[in-house]
Amino acid sequence: MHTDTVTGTSNLPPPRFEVPLTEHEVLDAGEQAALSAEIGTLLARENAVLVAHYYTAAAVQALAEATGGYVSDSLDMARFGHTHPAQTLVVAGVRFMGETAKILNPEKRVLMPNLAAECSLDLGCPPAAFNAYCDAHPDRTVVVYANTSAAVKARADWMVTSGSALDVVRHLHAQGQKILWAPDKYLGDYIRNQTGADLLLWNGACIVHEEFKGRELAVLMAQHPHAKVLVHPESPPSVIALADVVSSTSGLINAVRTLPAQHFIVATDRGIFYKMQQAAPTKTLIEAPTAGHSATCRSCAQCPWMAMNGLRQLAHALRTGAGEVHVAPALSARAVLPIKRLLDFSAAQQLTIQGNNDA
Ligand code: 13P
Ligand code: SF4
């Protein structure tokens, strides 16, 4: 167990849930090639596009790229699905990503290889308990991370992702708003430290990032004194404190591409190494430690739910229509508001950045 503590966290006990073991699909080269070819044909037949997260298996990411689909972080996955003309979106990721795609595109069919692909942050924030928490703090603006259910989003004023949370909270803080933040206490703690905003934190965590260890990371850094340390902000404070770069998955890949260093220690799901290596083939990537002398890792830098996105189930979903995501229209109509608020905010910000660059 980690020892990081975070102040200003809800004293509600974190909900209990089952965490599966990480089991990646095993395919020989012939099976992988045959399934990839079949999925390519099915995507064209179904007027479908494959959108994958950076944490999915390399074979899934490669297939998304090869078929005109997209591989990205959760914010850009939502943006891409929203603007792409395909009638069917196939989302390889975890359930909140499929739900977000469906909420933004109610007229489209959204398929997932495995609807059981959950997320510990989503499971750790049940809507009834969350609603009660919001009711107890009516003076606060409710900001939820994308890694939540449609029902939790329906209660929120804003949705944010790791790539947009700092900007949104800075904006709300500048308006003098106090914030109720859910569900990731580590991300919330990081955002609070960076912005100085008043954040009350839900007691949730990502079971993958929570396993990174600050003490062991310091030992590894001493062995690689020239390496830059890249950390996803779902990690505990002791790990974030040692980082050269704290960023969303897209931001971490960009850091590998643009920083002049040759070696990088990376604290996030190791599925990201596929894209990092593609972005900078000559650079050396080192996994940050998830187990110490006093602890063993369980997910070991591999999200068990992301690993559920195999090629066999992807092909099955396209052949049969299995794994279709449904969100009740009334719920969707409410949950879309905080999502759209974020997309509008980030579009306006990009225009501002563009305007400043053009000036
Ligand atoms: P990103 O938005 O940075 O891709 O993060 C999503 C996620 O689930 C990280 O664990
Ligand atoms: Fe959720 Fe963590 Fe998996 Fe991301 S890595 S989907 S936050 S459990």
Q: 306 CB under 6 A from ligand 2?
A: yes
Residue 77 has pLDDT above 80, yes or no: yes
Nearest to 184 by CA among 233, 138, 249, 141: 233
Domain 122-206+337-349 bears CATH identifier 3.40.220.10: no
Q: Looking at ligand 1, which atom is closest to the CA of residue 121?
A: 8
Nearest to 162 by CA among 131, 128, 203, 194: 194
For atom 8 of ligand 1, the residue with the nearest CA is 147
Band (163; pLDDT cuts 50, 70, 90): very high
**Phi, psi values for residue 87, rounded to 5°:** -80, -25
For atom 6 of ligand 1, the residue with the nearest CA is 74
In CATH, what number does 209-302 get?
Answer: 3.40.50.10800
Q: Looking at ligand 1, which atom is closest to the CA of residue 119?
A: 8
Mean pLDDT for 296-321 is 96
For atom 2 of ligand 2, the residue with the nearest CA is 206
Q: To test the ligand 2 pocket, which listed residue (160, 297, 305, 309) has its Cβ within 8 A of the most ligand atoms?
A: 305
Q: What is the pLDDT of residue 296?
A: 82
Ligand 2 centroid, distance to 208 Cα (angstroms): 6
Cα separation of 270 and 223, whole Å? Answer: 20
Mean pLDDT of the chain: 94
Contact 94, 305 (CB under 8 A): yes
Q: 74 CB under 6 A from ligand 2?
A: no
Residue 290 has pLDDT above 60, yes or no: yes
Band (355; pLDDT cuts 50, 70, 90): low
Ligand 1 centroid, distance to 348 Cα (angstroms): 22
Q: 161 CB under 6 A from ligand 1?
A: yes
Q: What is the pLDDT of residue 342?
A: 96
Ligand 2 centroid, distance to 199 Cα (angstroms): 22
pLDDT over 70 percentage in the chain? 96
Q: 184 CB under 6 A from ligand 2?
A: no
Q: Looking at ligand 2, which atom is closest to the CA of residue 120?
A: 8
Cα separation of 218 and 224, whole Å? Answer: 10
For atom 3 of ligand 2, the residue with the nearest CA is 303
pLDDT tens readout for residues 9-52: 877 777 789 999 899 999 999 999 999 999 999 999 999 999 99
Cα separation of 7 and 264, whole Å? Answer: 30
Ligand 2 centroid, distance to 23 Cα (angstroms): 15
Ligand 1 centroid, distance to 302 Cα (angstroms): 13
pLDDT over 90 percentage in the chain? 87
Residue 2 has pLDDT above 60, yes or no: no
pLDDT tens readout for residues 89-145: 999 999 999 999 999 999 999 999 999 999 999 999 999 999 999 999 999 999 999
Residue 178 has pLDDT above 80, yes or no: yes
Give domain 29-119+307-327's CATH superfamily. NadA-like (3.40.50.10800)
**Phi, psi values for residue 284, rounded to 5°:** -105, 130
Q: Looking at ligand 2, which atom is closest to the CA of residue 96?
A: 6
Q: 120 CB under 6 A from ligand 2?
A: yes
Could you say which ligand is closest to the alpha carbon of residue 162?
Answer: 1
Q: Which two tokens stand for residue 13?
A: 């006990």
Q: What is the pLDDT of residue 349?
A: 87
Q: To test the ligand 1 pocket, which listed residue (22, 51, 55, 79) has its Cβ within 8 A of the most ligand atoms?
A: 55
Residues of the chain with CATH 3.40.50.10800: 29-119+307-327, 122-206+337-349, 209-302
